[in-house]
Amino acid sequence: MASWVGMRGTATPAQVDAVSRAIRNTPIIDHHAHPLLKLDALAKKPLLAITTEATGDAIDSATSSLPHLRAVRQLAAALGCGYSWESVVAAIEERRLEGPEDWTAYCLGGIETLLLDDGLDDEDDANTFSWHDDYTRSPCKRIVRIEKVAADIIRRLGTSRDRKGDVFDEWLREFDTEIRKAIDDPDVAGFKSVIGYRTGLDITDWPAEVSEAHARADFRDILDAGNLRDFKRLQTKSLNDLVVHHVARLIRDSPSRPKKPLQFHTGLGDNDLVLARASPSHLQPFIRLYPTVPIVLLHAGYPFTRETGYLASVYENVYADIGEVFPFVSQDGQERLVREILEICPWTKILWSTDGHWFPETYLLAIMQMREVFETVLCDYVRKGHIGWQAAIALVRNVLFKNARKLYNLDIEFIELDEETGPPPGSYQSDAELLQAFLKDQPTPDFVRIFWNDFTATQRMRMIPFRRFESLLNEGLSTDIGITTAAFALIQNDRLLPNACPTGEYRLHPDFSSLKKGPVEGHISMAGEFREQSGAQVPYCPRSVLQRAVEYGAQNNLSFRIGFEIEFLLVERGALPNIKPDDRSGNAASSQYSTLTTDGHAWSVSRYFANPRVATLLRDMVSALADTGIHVEQLHAESATGQFELVLPPYPPVEAADTLLHARDMMSALATAAGFKLTLHPKPLPEACGTASHMHISLAPIRPSPPPRRKSSVVSTTAGGDVDLTTSTTVDTAASPPSEAHGSFYAGVLKHLRAIAAFTYSSPASYERCSDGTWSGGRWVAWGTQNRETALRRIAGPHWEVRCLDGLANPYLAVAAVLFAGVKGYSDGEALVWGDCEIDPAKLTENDRAELGVTEMLPGSVAEALEALKQDEEMVEMMGPELVERYAAVKEMELEFLGEMGGEERRRWLMERY
């Protein structure tokens, strides 16, 4: 450690902090952006476009990209919603409904002014450049897209009734006139060319006679082709090159000082461009030809970033923009890009822009990510002594404000954003700041827990002393934890799969959006997700699999709310005298736990709450959960002695699974402190009712228009309150059959239910509970309205209950399997061939079963469930072949280990761990 510290620079923490403040509080001149869509036009464009240049069918794949996943996290934090794309979409729609002006202002927070290229297609759907003045401190200005000016004149002349013959000269005169007007227009800050999209940046030199003759011939071909009423784009190289040269000459020869810049789109874009001809290096001859014309290379030329930096460093008239890569490139890529630009390019030649377009969220993400990356890169340079802290502040102010002010001749005073009100809306908040906000008005914790749930549903975690964790954040160091790649090759007693080895390491990355107090006093916890060293998702990470399932739903226009019931049994702890640790004698071992003393325990009875120890514990559970923001909806006694059910509120899927695991940890800790053992064992008392972990699910389409405002965030998920989790409105349970959409979703679940059981009934103990006539969901693949003897219970409308799930399942994997199956059914239009079963399916006659489509039984064992999973090719593909193979191997080894025990010993062993 000493040698590592010795490698650092001499900057003090206060100086590094000054650089961070400058990054957050420097106003932004956004010198390249596009107008926002009018409110009624927002539904015309896909929101997925905020993180990708892909269009058409290719855009759907964006959900599996690092830029998209990062955007989900950041938008969820800004919106205060769940950590999933569907939650983000729903929250954005709600903001559009409640106060679009406020949300737009938030997203554009920190921007001094916008220089807007208003030449995009569908311009009638976009707001005018001056409309944006309401959201910036200084008036906005235009960037004139020169190819659009040329195309508009061609369309007008070509459709004119007075047109006579070749009007090439007239077209060129009118074009020059429009450009001269723009040069003189104070509302125009500069010009832009998209020739990189059309015919490439390898612009032909302009020896007038030959080239102009070629252009005339191509112009004549356009006129002769007809259909000019819809003409929008110049696609001919000779004409595109001519237009660019004319603008450069007019700027060069204009008397204005300083001269207005000419921007060029370079590098990445949608599939209109030919990437090989989009490198800014092609512009070198053109740059030399017009040394007095300011030229801006947009988007860092990505992936030709070093070429961009080189050109800006060796030509006085060239400037490097580093916009659009925020948020279209991953965080690592953005950091690398900033470092590459700074390798050679003077920071007085660098500008930053959002390239924001259509949606205000594009501005928000660009600003958040820029501040985050600038802080990472520049503060690292300062710490290492590569740059002084005052120079770093100068760099920030130049790149974000002063370079653009000078280049575009803007009369704007530099005034820092108001520090007293905290970070500007839309600015990046570091993990340290998120933690600080979470701990506001709370005592300093002792430890930070980062937890995960493995393939055996064992809750594991790493714990870091808070002071150490805080210092890592404050120093800008990673809080990721190295975890052996064997983490998903272990069973409960840490036995390792024979073909696995403890070499290699994953990074356990804490998700600060999941921060919660507890589960014990002095601790705070958050969920972790596993990443490769490169930052890519680990295919075995259950939480990441659930995120994929949620995103699969969003791709198919579905959002979800999930609510869990926690059924649990309280037992008394007892000593085991004369029992050796390896003793497997069943009868003696069974005395470790004993049932509670009862005056007659039964379902929903009140007398048990007169027991002061139990009543106090249950009260403390509800109170402790509420203190973490988890507000219990119901609590009642279940059938078995000492058995209770606690109902959690509904959340988006990932948040629901996080909350379930954290709630269980808290409840178990409280039970232990009170002298009890809390167990989730599916059949803890052989003679009594079993213990489940029923999952309530409600789905709704992600509508193109804003949804109705929710009436309440607290809704019932129990049998006693038939409530639609999506709208929080009471629904008539005797209403019509499921809608076609809901029917297709749950048909998908039923179609794959035998494979799903590998994740929901994942232990031999699960099949001890699974029986007919015990309200356990039965053994048949069936559904029924308000039927607790079916695996799927329809409660009302889109709100159903999955009853074949218990507390020994990994909730991330169980929920993911259900969602994947349901969304696949919805996407395929799967028919609900199963009828509404009104009685216990076990009591149906063979003819009744055939009529209702109840022809399959759930697996009777873990081995049978795993075989059903392996045979279900669609489910294997959705969950991931690597995950299914590893999961099955772990469960098979677990079965072998548990199979060596006697029944009573296995029961005790599982109760100790669950």
Q: How many CB atoms lie within 10 A of CB 434?
A: 15
**Which two three-digit tokens encode residue 132?**
């944006």
CATH classification at residue 9 = 3.20.20.140
* pLDDT the model gives residue 357: 87
| Residue, of 190 and 82, whose pLDDT is higher | 190
Cis check: omega of the bond before 519, within 30 degrees of 0: yes
Residue 662 CB-density burial (10 A; 0-12 exposed, 13-18 middle, 19+ buried): buried
Please tell me whether residues 354 and 381 are part of one structural domain: yes
User: Is pLDDT at 551 greater than 90 in this prediction?
Assistant: no
Give the contacts of 481 (CB within 8 A, at least 6 positions apart). Answer: 450, 462, 464, 507, 508, 528
Contact 153, 178 (CB under 8 A): yes
User: Is pLDDT at 578 greater than 60 in this prediction?
Assistant: no
| Angle, helix 360-384 to helix 100-107, in steps of 10 degrees | 20
Give the contacts of 4 (CB within 8 A, at least 6 positions apart). Answer: none
| Residue, of 202 and 427, whose pLDDT is higher | 202
* pLDDT the model gives residue 209: 60
Please tell me whether residues 449 and 554 are part of one structural domain: no
Q: Which of 828, 818, 809, 819 shows the shortest CA–CA distance to 791?
A: 818
Strand 593-595, strand 558-573: pairing: antiparallel
DSSP assignment of 545-596 equals HHHHHHHHHHHTTEEEEEEEEEEEEEEEE---TT--TT---HHHHGGGEEEP
* pLDDT the model gives residue 127: 87
Mean residue pLDDT across the chain: 83
Question: Where is the domain boundary, 496, 520, 538?
Answer: 538
Mean pLDDT of 136-158: 90
**Which two three-digit tokens encode residue 18?**
């000054």
Contact 598, 641 (CB under 8 A): yes
DSSP assignment of 260-324 equals PPEEEE-S---TTS-GGG--GGGGHHHHHH-TTS-EEEEGGGTT-HHHHHHHHHH-TTEEEE--S
708 pLDDT tier (thresholds 50, 70, 90): very low
Q: Which of 791, 794, 787 shows the shortest CA–CA distance to 757?
A: 791
Question: Where is the domain boundary, 483, 513, 538?
Answer: 538
> 192-201, 493-502, 517-526: lowest mean pLDDT where?
493-502
> 8-12, 206-210, 303-307, 539-543: lowest mean pLDDT where?
8-12
- DSSP letter assigned to residue 519: S
How far is 187 from 142, CA to CA, in rounded Å?
6
How far is 152 from 232, CA to CA, in rounded Å?
7
Mean pLDDT of 421-444: 69
pLDDT digit string, tens, across residues 516-532: 999 999 999 999 989 88
Mean pLDDT of 24-28: 92
Q: Which of 124-128, 309-313, 324-328 has the highest mean pLDDT?
A: 309-313
How far is 159 from 151, CA to CA, in rounded Å?
12
**Which two three-digit tokens encode residue 789?**
């003897």
Is residue 504 assigned to a domain? yes
pLDDT digit string, tens, across residues 60-92: 787 888 888 888 888 888 888 877 888 888 888
Which alpha helices (DSSP H) does 99-163 contain, by range? 100-107, 146-158
Alpha carbon separation from 351 to 300, 382, 404, 526 (Å, rounded): 10, 21, 6, 38
Is residue 633 assigned to a domain? yes
* pLDDT the model gives residue 421: 45
Q: How many CB atoms lie within 10 A of CB 224?
A: 7
Give the contacts of 731 (CB within 8 A, at least 6 positions apart). Answer: 722, 723, 724, 796, 797, 799
How far is 55 from 59, CA to CA, in rounded Å?
5
Mean pLDDT of 389-403: 92
Prediction pTM value: 0.60
**Which domain, by its residues, includes 436?**
431-538
* pLDDT the model gives residue 598: 66
* pLDDT the model gives residue 766: 87
Please tell me whether residues 464 and 380 are part of one structural domain: no
* pLDDT the model gives residue 588: 37
User: Is pLDDT at 732 greater than 50 in this prediction?
Assistant: no
Collapsed DSSP state (helix, strand, coil) of residue 745: helix
Alpha carbon separation from 562 to 553, 807, 817, 853 (Å, rounded): 14, 16, 14, 27
Strand 676-679, strand 792-796: pairing: unpaired
* pLDDT the model gives residue 161: 60
Cα radius of gyration rounded to whole Å, the chain: 32
* pLDDT the model gives residue 812: 95
First CA to last CA across the chain, in angstroms?
40
Q: Buried b / exposed e across 332-343, counting CB within 10 Å, b at 16+?
A: ebbbebbebbbe
Please tell me whether residues 553 and 485 are part of one structural domain: no
Please tell me whether residues 401 and 436 are part of one structural domain: no
Percent of the chain with pLDDT over 90: 36
Please tell me whether residues 199 and 240 are part of one structural domain: yes
Question: Where is the domain boundary, 538, 557, 582?
Answer: 538
User: Is pLDDT at 31 greater than 90 in this prediction?
Assistant: yes
Please tell me whether residues 715 and 762 are part of one structural domain: yes
CATH classification at residue 802 = 3.30.590.10
576 pLDDT tier (thresholds 50, 70, 90): very low
726 pLDDT tier (thresholds 50, 70, 90): very low
pLDDT digit string, tens, across residues 251-277: 999 988 899 999 999 988 777 778 888
Give the contacts of 811 (CB within 8 A, at least 6 positions apart). Answer: 453, 457, 564, 656, 657, 660, 661, 693
Q: Which helix (H) or strand (E) holds 115?
A: strand 111-117
> 105-119, 615-629, 703-717, 730-744: lowest mean pLDDT where?
703-717
Mean pLDDT of 345-354: 94
Contact 567, 807 (CB under 8 A): yes
* pLDDT the model gives residue 716: 32
DSSP assignment of 358-426 equals BSHHHHHHHHHHHHHHHHHHHHHHHHHTSS-HHHHHHHHHIIIIIHHHHHTT---------STT-SPTT
CATH classification at residue 533 = 3.10.20.70
Is residue 913 assigned to a domain? no
Is residue 914 assigned to a domain? no
773 pLDDT tier (thresholds 50, 70, 90): low
pLDDT digit string, tens, across residues 828-881: 888 888 888 888 888 878 888 888 888 888 898 999 999 999 999 999 999 999
Q: Which helix (H) or strand (E) holds 191?
A: strand 188-193
> 264-278, 428-442, 781-795: lowest mean pLDDT where?
428-442
| Residue, of 660 and 712, whose pLDDT is higher | 660
Q: Which of 156-160, 428-432, 535-539, 680-684 has the highest mean pLDDT?
A: 680-684
Contact 111, 28 (CB under 8 A): yes
* pLDDT the model gives residue 721: 32
Please tell me whether residues 526 and 557 are part of one structural domain: no
* pLDDT the model gives residue 615: 86
How far is 95 from 81, CA to CA, in rounded Å?
12
**Which two three-digit tokens encode residue 169?**
């000269």
Q: Which helix (H) or strand (E) holds 447?
A: strand 447-453
Q: In the chain, what's the furthest Cα-to-Cα distance?
A: 111
Please tell me whether residues 825 and 700 are part of one structural domain: yes
User: Is pLDDT at 5 greater than 50 in this prediction?
Assistant: no
296 has which bridge partners?
A: 263, 319
CA of residue 8 relative to chain centroid, distance: 35
* pLDDT the model gives residue 415: 87
> 278-287, 340-349, 788-797, 868-877: lowest mean pLDDT where?
788-797
User: Is pLDDT at 417 greater than 90 in this prediction?
Assistant: no
Residue with tokens 């076990």: 842
User: Is pLDDT at 376 greater than 80 in this prediction?
Assistant: yes
Is residue 423 assigned to a domain? no
Please tell me whether residues 531 and 575 are part of one structural domain: no
Please tell me whether residues 401 and 465 are part of one structural domain: no
User: Is pLDDT at 458 greater than 50 in this prediction?
Assistant: yes
User: Is pLDDT at 306 greater than 80 in this prediction?
Assistant: yes
How far is 559 from 710, CA to CA, in rounded Å?
15
Mean pLDDT of 132-137: 90
Is residue 672 assigned to a domain? yes
**Which two three-digit tokens encode residue 911?**
């109760």
| Residue, of 286 and 44, whose pLDDT is higher | 286
Specify the length of the chain in residues: 914
Is residue 82 assigned to a domain? yes
Tally the domains of the chain. 3
121 pLDDT tier (thresholds 50, 70, 90): low
| Residue, of 672 and 798, whose pLDDT is higher | 672
Is residue 651 assigned to a domain? yes
Please tell me whether residues 716 and 797 are part of one structural domain: yes
**Which two three-digit tokens encode residue 696?**
């309530």
Q: Which of 672, 665, 609 shows the shortest CA–CA distance to 637?
A: 609
How far is 757 from 770, CA to CA, in rounded Å?
11
| Residue, of 718 and 765, whose pLDDT is higher | 765
